[in-house]
């Protein structure tokens, strides 16, 4: 048996290993290049208090979750219950109302619960663009230095919290 | 929550994001007015938006997609071109936010050199193998120069088509 | 009751498939003809059982039987009958059943048409096909059963994906699957050859028409898929190098290589091991495509909804089938090495070069498709490999191929004198250069270097192919007899090569000279593109059978004359709530005018301004026309009478051998 006739079989082994590894990845998730970087700068109004400015500096000093949500986002309803629980445990969550109108957002929060310490309004999605948001909900985990340490794409749930986020929060505080 | 359910939810999310009927993003900017760009900038705009990947639609360029995010990114590219930024700067602006994933033309770097060189390496190897195969089997005796065509014409017209039909492989 | 019968037929088919895989194989080992004969009868029984199951599922769709989960998920009450019939293969489970129908159909065809092949070869090949059927049936029954019942039974279905409610989709998947699955026959013959150790001209001659037939179906399937995407996706694209498109293109490239290397194996008895490898690879890539599309491992516009269990099953199946095939290959193929003379400047030499380029092209597509996966598996982040990559890689790999075609028919088997060949090809070359230089100007486009190159290449391919026919006719005294005596296979080859030329011409012009514009149009406003004026008369609501539409009325004027009324639509499907862009196209062989409605600028006012996409695409039809010509060429080649005649002769030889 000459070796080169074994090449197809060898290639097959390589491919099968690759695919077996690939099956564990979710192809729809795009990892953020912002992980490990400081939160992008912004200066936006608050819901109900449009005159007040909230900036990236206001996120520093303690670990914070920054949650991009919107009243038009059906998946956000799915995660709202869990965010309420987290808020009740004392986790600070800052909401960014993404590409939404203030009235719709207020009504939506009244109906589904408001877990947010502050709600920043981003009606044009400008901050969303700088943060690399491509849909709602997306949640960023910031440490006390204001550095992004994790990004959750899609609804946040208990499993993600326990396995991914809680350890980071503990290290951060 | 189980992994399956989480996957399901993510799928749901993807579907929701994909279905414009459900996502009612408020901002519906009209397509950028081409008048603001010079002809050269317009051409760069056209080629740029067809090389950048729309993130929500997963497999369309921002030029082709009708998703609101794609429209935002088109506007962003447009505005930056009008502001005099170079193609490289615009691409960097996007990769800083979304990573290399937005580039349909992967940049040539350490982790992609094999992607760009691979096909030509394969071609080179295949050519070498084919040439060596042929070389090892070249005629050893002095070739008898017979003009097959002329011979066939001499033999007669009917034969030619028959020769086409006759199997020429070695017997079983 | 009917769905249960269908389910039962699938289970019965599984048992028959097990018989078909084991009994003939045992028969070949024991040299027992009676056992070998089980192959044919079980292949045919299996086909009937699957046909019955397929009929049951179709019946469930026709009668709107929402108790079947698959029917409820992919149909709804107001879905027109035609789409209820095609919804059978509209999603994963049903399309697997269609796949099985094709596989058993091919097996039954092998058992009928190859009855007089050496019995042991047919029996082995059918046993291989039976083993494949076992795998696919297990896959259907364990992970993807289309007959799973729904409790409680819903009042209505959830609707067929609106993307699939298009005439292009009615025949696209069956054609594609005929191609994919068709390569399993070449695969089975290759395995049979490896097992028996017999690989001769006769083997190649038996395999050729089967391969060509599978290839021609795949060609039609890909062409239709491209046409469908063009009409349904709403942005004028006809090929996006999407993973799913690549999944069909890779087997096509390798299948094309196989058709050509089979010619060498038949006529010259060479490249045997290589031909066998290509036969395995063509089917391997079909399986790989199935895996990529159905496992959800890659992101694509057309991927099926996914379930990890399915991915793992197909991956295991793929590993087993190909693992056995490649091991067998590594063990037996060295026997097939031929030491006969081989000259590079001869038809077989050029066909070898053809294979080099085709296989490199297929490797490039494979690399580009899988590279993001590799990067992710190595935790290096995420990259996208898209059209800009494939276009720049693909051109240098395929241009030499088009140049070679012109030589292939002019160069004889065994050896040729370069001087003769070049002399003979002077005229086609001159015509090609002349045409390349003048075509852009004749068609009223700016002259671009790329257009000259592409045009010249296309004309070269066409003229040099036709030139060979002319030469053959001229060689006879009686011209008419000369034409009628050209074997059908030669006509087929010529037609397919001309198809490639037409295709190159279409691609060159449509990619270089297309113009697109996104405009904002209100009722009564117009925009001008490439000299054509598109006036939006208005947008009005329309009620379709199962959707509501904003129906646009666009009038196209050229040089002061109205030349077309186009009706692009934006549809909202009732049951699923999905929005679809239905583009409208006016076409002549030389250009397409394509209009698609974007969004209303003011969401709540469909009577106001709209974002409208306008495209002018020259020679778009030639891209698909070329595909159709290639498929027709394949049809002519596959039905050449010499296959039947040669077979009759072999049969006679065989029976005398048996008698002796």
3-state secondary structure labels for all residues of A69-94: ECCCCHHHHHHHHHHHHHHHCCCCEE
**pLDDT greater at residue A62 or residue C308:** A62
Q: What are phi and psi of A38, to 5 degrees?
A: -65, 150
Residue C448 lies in a domain: no
User: What pLDDT is recorded for position B164?
Assistant: 43
Shared domain for B124 and B67, answered yes or no, is no
Shared domain for B13 and B82, answered yes or no, is yes
**pLDDT greater at residue C82 or residue B35:** C82
Last residue of a domain, one of C125, C140, C160: C160
Residue B172 lies in a domain: no
User: What pLDDT is recorded for position B139?
Assistant: 67
Judge whether residue C194 has pLDDT over 90. Answer: yes
Shared domain for B55 and B117, answered yes or no, is no
User: Which of C389, C419, C640 has the most B C-beta neighbours within 10 Å, making it the best mutation to test the interface with B?
Assistant: C389
Which residues face B52 on adjacent strands?
B103
Are A88 and A60 within 8 A, CB to CB? no
Judge whether residue B165 has pLDDT over 90. Answer: no
Q: What are phi and psi of C427, to 5 degrees?
A: -65, -55
CB-based contact, B51 to chain C, within 8 Å:
yes
Shared domain for C23 and C133, answered yes or no, is yes
Residues from chain B contacting residue A132 (CB–CB below 8 Å):
97-99
- Kindly provide the residue ranges of all beta strands, DSSP E only, lying in C482-583, ordered along the sequence: 515-521, 526-529, 532-543, 547-558, 561-566, 569-573, 579-582
C6 DSSP 8-state letter: H
Shared domain for C271 and C177, answered yes or no, is yes
Q: What are phi and psi of A146, to 5 degrees?
A: 85, 20
Which pair of tokens denotes residue A95? 């909401």
pLDDT tens digit sequence for C303-362: 555 667 888 888 999 999 999 999 999 999 888 887 778 888 888 899 999 999 999 999
User: What pLDDT is recorded for position C306?
Assistant: 60
Judge whether residue A123 has pLDDT over 60. Answer: yes
Domain boundaries, position C532 = 515-621
Distance of CA C480 to the CA centre of its chain: 36
Residues from chain B contacting residue C389 (CB–CB below 8 Å):
104-106, 115-116
Are A120 and A64 within 8 A, CB to CB? no
C262-290 per-residue burial string, b: 16 or more CB within 10 A, e: under 16: bbbbbbbbbbbbbbbbbbbbbbbbbbbbb
Distance CA A139, CA A151 (A): 6
How many C-beta atoms lie closer than 10 Å to residue A167's C-beta? 11
A27-48 per-residue burial string, b: 16 or more CB within 10 A, e: under 16: bbbbbbbbeeeebeebebbbbe
Which pair of tokens denotes residue C579? 């929005």
How many contacts (CB atoms, under 8 Å) link A and B? 80
Residue B127 lies in a domain: yes
Which residue of A lies nearest to C384 if distances are taken between CA atoms? A30
End-to-end CA separation in angstroms for chain B: 65
Are C68 and C60 within 8 A, CB to CB? yes
Confidence of residue C217 (pLDDT cuts 50, 70, 90): very high
User: What pLDDT is recorded for position B153?
Assistant: 62
User: What pLDDT is recorded for position B68?
Assistant: 81
Distance CA C416, CA B142 (A): 15
Shared domain for C184 and C76, answered yes or no, is no
CB-based contact, A2 to chain C, within 8 Å:
yes
Shared domain for B77 and B150, answered yes or no, is no
Residue C85 lies in a domain: yes
Distance CA B132, CA C514 (A): 44
Shared domain for B85 and B23, answered yes or no, is yes
The alpha-carbon gap from A171 to the nearest alpha carbon of chain B, in Å, equals 24
Last residue of a domain, one of C330, C359, C388: C359
Shared domain for B77 and B124, answered yes or no, is no
User: What pLDDT is recorded for position C655?
Assistant: 56
Last residue of a domain, one of B102, B127, B144: B102
Q: Per CB distance under 8 Å, which residues of B are interface residues toward A?
A: 1, 3, 6-7, 9-10, 12-14, 16-17, 22-27, 55-56, 58, 68-69, 72-73, 76, 95-99, 101
pLDDT tens digit sequence for B130-150: 999 888 887 654 445 556 666
Judge whether residue C553 has pLDDT over 70. Answer: yes
Shared domain for C152 and C14, answered yes or no, is yes
Shared domain for C6 and C54, answered yes or no, is yes
Q: What does the pLDDT average to over B104-114?
A: 88
Question: Which of helix, strand or coil describes residue C142?
Answer: helix
Shared domain for C124 and C260, answered yes or no, is no
Residue B170 lies in a domain: no
Question: Which of helix, strand or coil describes residue A54?
Answer: strand
Distance CA C127, CA C107 (A): 10
Q: Which of B32-36, B118-122, C215-219 has the lowest average pLDDT? A: B32-36
Shared domain for C2 and C29, answered yes or no, is yes
Last residue of a domain, one of C133, C160, C187: C160
Smallest Cβ distance to C577: which of B21, B51, B61?
B21
Q: How many domains does chain B have?
A: 2
Residue C598 lies in a domain: yes
**pLDDT greater at residue A168 or residue B24:** A168
Smallest Cβ distance to C367: which of B118, B158, B165?
B118
Contact map slice: B 58-97 vs C, CB within 8 A: 58-61, 63-66
User: What pLDDT is recorded for position A171?
Assistant: 66
Shared domain for C223 and C156, answered yes or no, is no
Last residue of a domain, one of B69, B102, B135: B102
Shared domain for B18 and B97, answered yes or no, is yes
Confidence of residue B33 (pLDDT cuts 50, 70, 90): low
User: What pLDDT is recorded for position C304?
Assistant: 59
Residue B1 lies in a domain: no
Shared domain for B53 and B131, answered yes or no, is no
Shared domain for C523 and C588, answered yes or no, is yes
How many C-beta atoms lie closer than 10 Å to residue B107's C-beta? 12
Q: Which of A151-165, B3-17, B38-52 has the lowest average pLDDT? A: B3-17
Residues 6+ positions from C38 with CB-CB distance below 8 Å? C19, C20, C23, C24, C27
User: What pLDDT is recorded for position A48?
Assistant: 84
CB-based contact, A1 to chain C, within 8 Å:
yes
C15-51 per-residue burial string, b: 16 or more CB within 10 A, e: under 16: ebbbbbbbbbbebbeeeeeebbbbbbebbbbbbebbb
User: What pLDDT is recorded for position B13?
Assistant: 39
Which pair of tokens denotes residue A26? 């979710």
Packing angle of the helix pair C167-196, C92-113 (nearest 10 deg): 50
A43 DSSP 8-state letter: E
Which pair of tokens denotes residue C612? 């409208």
Distance CA C635, CA C632 (A): 5
User: What pLDDT is recorded for position C302?
Assistant: 54
User: What pLDDT is recorded for position C185?
Assistant: 94
Residue C280 lies in a domain: yes
Kindly report the CA angle at C601 between C596 and C602, in degrees rounded to 5?
135
How many C-beta atoms lie closer than 10 Å to residue C610's C-beta? 27
Confidence of residue C22 (pLDDT cuts 50, 70, 90): very high
* Residue of C181, C249, C171 whose CA lies nearest to C210: C181
User: What pLDDT is recorded for position C557?
Assistant: 93
Residues 6+ positions from C260 with CB-CB distance below 8 Å? C351, C354, C355, C358
Domain boundaries, position B145 = 113-164
Residue B24 lies in a domain: yes
* Residue of A6, B128, B114, A5 whose CA lies nearest to C356: B128
Question: In this complex, which chains have at least 3 CB pairs below 8 Å with chain A?
Answer: B, C
Shared domain for C229 and C291, answered yes or no, is yes
Can you tell me which residue has the tokens 């179709």? C58
Are C20 and C126 within 8 A, CB to CB? yes
pLDDT tens digit sequence for C590-601: 999 999 988 888
Judge whether residue B163 has pLDDT over 70. Answer: no
Residue C136 lies in a domain: yes
Shared domain for B69 and B31, answered yes or no, is yes
Q: What are phi and psi of A119, to 5 degrees?
A: -120, 115
Residue C374 lies in a domain: no
Shared domain for C13 and C138, answered yes or no, is yes
Which residues face C341 on adjacent strands?
none
Say if the Cβ atoms of B1 and A159 lie within 8 Å.
yes
Confidence of residue B65 (pLDDT cuts 50, 70, 90): confident
User: What pLDDT is recorded for position B29?
Assistant: 42
Packing angle of the helix pair C119-143, C167-196 (nearest 10 deg): 130
Which residue of C lies nearest to B122 if distances are taken between CA atoms? C360
How many C-beta atoms lie closer than 10 Å to residue A58's C-beta? 14
The domain that contains C268 carries what CATH number? 1.20.120
The domain that contains B87 carries what CATH number? 1.10.8.640
Q: Which of B79-83, C13-17, C496-500 has the lowest average pLDDT? A: B79-83
- The size of chain B, in residues, is 172
> Cβ-count burial of C410 within 10 angstroms (0-12 exposed, 13-18 middle, 19+ buried)?
buried
B34 DSSP 8-state letter: G
Q: What does the pLDDT average to over A114-140?
A: 89
Q: What does the pLDDT average to over A101-116?
A: 91
Confidence of residue C116 (pLDDT cuts 50, 70, 90): low
Shared domain for B84 and B123, answered yes or no, is no
Q: How many domains does chain C have?
A: 3
Judge whether residue A13 has pLDDT over 80. Answer: yes
Helix (H) or strand (E) segment spanning residue C126: helix C119-143
Residue C487 lies in a domain: no
Residue C653 lies in a domain: no
Say if the Cβ atoms of C312 and A30 lie within 8 Å.
no
Are C278 and C258 within 8 A, CB to CB? yes
Judge whether residue B5 has pLDDT over 70. Answer: no
Confidence of residue B154 (pLDDT cuts 50, 70, 90): low
Judge whether residue C117 has pLDDT over 80. Answer: no
Domains of chain A: 34-172 (3.40.30.10)
User: What pLDDT is recorded for position C648?
Assistant: 62
Residues from chain A contacting residue C374 (CB–CB below 8 Å):
18
Shared domain for B71 and B122, answered yes or no, is no
* Residue of C23, C162, C56 whose CA lies nearest to C581: C162
Residue B126 lies in a domain: yes
Which pair of tokens denotes residue B119? 């096909």
pLDDT tens digit sequence for C450-499: 999 999 999 999 999 998 888 888 888 787 887 888 889 899 999 999 99
Shared domain for C42 and C182, answered yes or no, is no
Can you tell me which residue has the tokens 């000459």? A2
User: What pLDDT is recorded for position C162?
Assistant: 82
**pLDDT greater at residue B6 or residue C577:** C577
Q: Is the ipTM of this complex over 0.95?
A: no
Q: Which of A37-41, C57-61, C293-297, C353-357 has the lowest average pLDDT? A: C293-297
Judge whether residue C437 has pLDDT over 80. Answer: yes
Q: What are phi and psi of C618, to 5 degrees?
A: -70, 145
Distance CA A130, CA A103 (A): 24
Say if the Cβ atoms of A18 and C374 lie within 8 Å.
yes
Shared domain for B12 and B97, answered yes or no, is yes
Q: What does the pLDDT average to over B103-118?
A: 90
Question: Which of helix, strand or coil describes residue C487?
Answer: coil
CB-based contact, C334 to chain A, within 8 Å:
yes
């Amino acid at each position: 048996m000459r070796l080169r006739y074994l090449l197809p079989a060898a290639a097959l082994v390589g491919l099968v290993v690759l695919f077996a590894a690939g099956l564990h990845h979710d192809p729809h998730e795009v990892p953020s290049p912002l992980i490990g970087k400081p939160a992008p700068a912004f200066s936006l109004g608050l819901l109900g208090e449009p005159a007040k400015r909230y900036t990236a500096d206001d996120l520093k000093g303690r670990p914070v979750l920054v949650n991009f949500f919107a009243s038009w986002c059906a998946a956000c309803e799915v995660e709202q219950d869990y965010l309420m629980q987290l808020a009740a445990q004392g986790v600070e969550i800052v909401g960014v109302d993404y590409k939404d109108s203030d009235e719709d957002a207020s009504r939506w929060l009244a109906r589904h619960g408001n877990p947010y310490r502050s709600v920043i309004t981003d009606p044009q999605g400008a901050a969303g663009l700088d943060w690399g948001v491509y849909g709602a909900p997306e949640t960023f985990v910031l440490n006390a230095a204001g550095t992004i340490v994790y990004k959750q794409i899609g609804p946040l749930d208990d499993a993600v919290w326990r396995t991914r986020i809680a350890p980071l929060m503990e290290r951060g505080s | 929550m189980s992994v399956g359910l989480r996957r399901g939810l993510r799928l749901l999310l993807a579907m929701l994001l994909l279905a414009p009927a459900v996502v009612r993003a408020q901002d519906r900017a009209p397509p950028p007015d081409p008048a603001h760009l010079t002809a050269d900038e317009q051409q760069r705009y056209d080629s740029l938006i067809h090389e950048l990947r729309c993130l929500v639609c997963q497999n369309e360029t921002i030029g082709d997609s009708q998703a609101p995010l794609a429209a935002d990114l088109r506007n962003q590219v447009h505005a930056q071109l009008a502001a005099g930024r170079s193609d490289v700067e615009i691409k960097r602006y996007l990769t800083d936010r979304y990573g290399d994933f937005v580039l349909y033309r992967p940049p040539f770097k350490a982790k992609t050199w094999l992607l760009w060189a691979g096909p030509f390496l394969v071609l080179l190897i295949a050519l070498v193998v084919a040439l060596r195969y042929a070389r090892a089997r070249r005629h050893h005796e002095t070739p008898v120069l017979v003009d097959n065509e002329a011979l066939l014409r001499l033999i007669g017209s009917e034969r030619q088509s028959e020769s086409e039909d006759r199997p020429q492989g070695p017997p079983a | 009751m009917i769905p249960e019968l269908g389910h039962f037929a699938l289970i019965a088919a599984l048992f028959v498939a097990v018989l078909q895989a084991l009994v003939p194989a045992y028969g070949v080992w024991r040299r027992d003809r009676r056992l070998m004969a089980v192959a044919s009868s079980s292949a045919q029984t299996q086909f009937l059982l699957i046909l019955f199951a397929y009929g049951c599922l179709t019946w469930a769709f026709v009668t709107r039987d929402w108790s079947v989960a698959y029917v409820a998920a992919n149909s709804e009450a107001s879905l027109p009958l035609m789409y209820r019939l095609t919804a059978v293969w509209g999603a994963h489970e049903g399309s697997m059943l269609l796949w099985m129908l094709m596989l058993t159909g091919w097996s039954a065809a092998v058992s009928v048409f190859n009855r007089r092949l050496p019995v042991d070869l047919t029996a082995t090949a059918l046993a291989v096909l039976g083993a494949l059927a076992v795998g696919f049936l297990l896959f259907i029954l364990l992970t993807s059963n289309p007959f799973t019942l729904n409790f409680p039974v819903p009042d209505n279905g959830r609707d067929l994906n609106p993307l699939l409610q298009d005439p292009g989709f009615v025949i696209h998947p069956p054609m594609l699957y005929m191609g994919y699955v068709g390569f399993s026959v070449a695969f089975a013959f290759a395995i049979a050859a490896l097992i028996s150790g017999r690989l001769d001209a006769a083997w190649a001659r038996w395999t050729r028409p089967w391969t060509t037939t599978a290839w021609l179906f795949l060609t039609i399937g890909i062409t239709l898929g491209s046409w469908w995407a063009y009409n349904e996706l709403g942005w004028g694209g006809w090929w996006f190098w999407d993973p799913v498109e690549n999944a069909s293109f890779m087997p096509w490239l390798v299948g094309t290589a196989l058709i050509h290397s089979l010619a060498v194996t038949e006529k010259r008895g060479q490249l045997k091991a290589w031909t066998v490898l290509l036969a395995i690879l063509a089917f391997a890539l079909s399986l790989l495509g199935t895996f990529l599309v159905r496992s959800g491992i890659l992101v694509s516009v057309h991927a099926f909804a996914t379930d990890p269990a399915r991915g793992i099953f197909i991956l295991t199946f793929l590993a087993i089938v190909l693992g056995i095939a490649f091991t067998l290959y590594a063990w037996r193929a060295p026997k097939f090495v031929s030491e006969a003379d081989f000259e590079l400047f001869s038809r077989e030499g050029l066909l070898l070069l053809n294979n080099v380029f085709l296989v490199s092209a297929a490797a490039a597509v494979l690399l580009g498709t899988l590279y993001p996966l590799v990067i992710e598996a190595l935790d290096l982040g995420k990259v996208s490999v898209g059209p800009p990559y494939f276009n720049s890689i693909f051109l240098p790999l395929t241009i030499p191929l088009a140049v070679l075609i012109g030589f292939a028919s002019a160069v004889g088997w065994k050896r040729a004198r370069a001087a003769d060949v070049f002399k003979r090809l002077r005229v086609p070359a001159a015509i090609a250069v002349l045409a390349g230089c003048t075509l852009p100007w004749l068609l009223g486009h700016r002259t671009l270097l790329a257009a000259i190159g592409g045009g010249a290449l296309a004309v070269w391919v066409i003229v040099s192919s036709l030139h060979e026919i002319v030469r053959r006719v001229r060689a006879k005294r009686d011209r008419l007899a000369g034409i009628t005596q050209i074997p059908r296979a030669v006509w087929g080859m010529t037609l397919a090569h001309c198809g490639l030329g037409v295709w190159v011409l279409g691609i060159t012009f449509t990619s270089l000279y297309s113009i697109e514009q996104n405009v904002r149009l209100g009722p009564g406003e117009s925009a001008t593109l490439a000299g054509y004026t598109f006036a939006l008369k208005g947008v009005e609501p329309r009620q379709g059978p199962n959707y509501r539409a904003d129906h646009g009325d666009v009038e196209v004027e050229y040089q002061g004359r109205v030349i077309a009324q186009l009706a692009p639509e934006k549809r909202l499907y009732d049951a699923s709530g999905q929005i679809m862009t239905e583009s409208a196209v006016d076409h002549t062989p030389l250009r397409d005018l394509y209009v698609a409605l974007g969004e209303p600028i003011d969401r709540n006012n469909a009577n106001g301004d709209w974002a409208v996409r306008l495209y002018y695409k020259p020679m778009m039809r030639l891209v698909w026309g070329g595909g159709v010509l290639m498929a027709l060429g394949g049809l002519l080649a596959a039905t050449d009478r010499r296959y039947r005649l040669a077979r009759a002769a072999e049969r006679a030889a065989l029976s005398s051998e048996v008698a002796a």
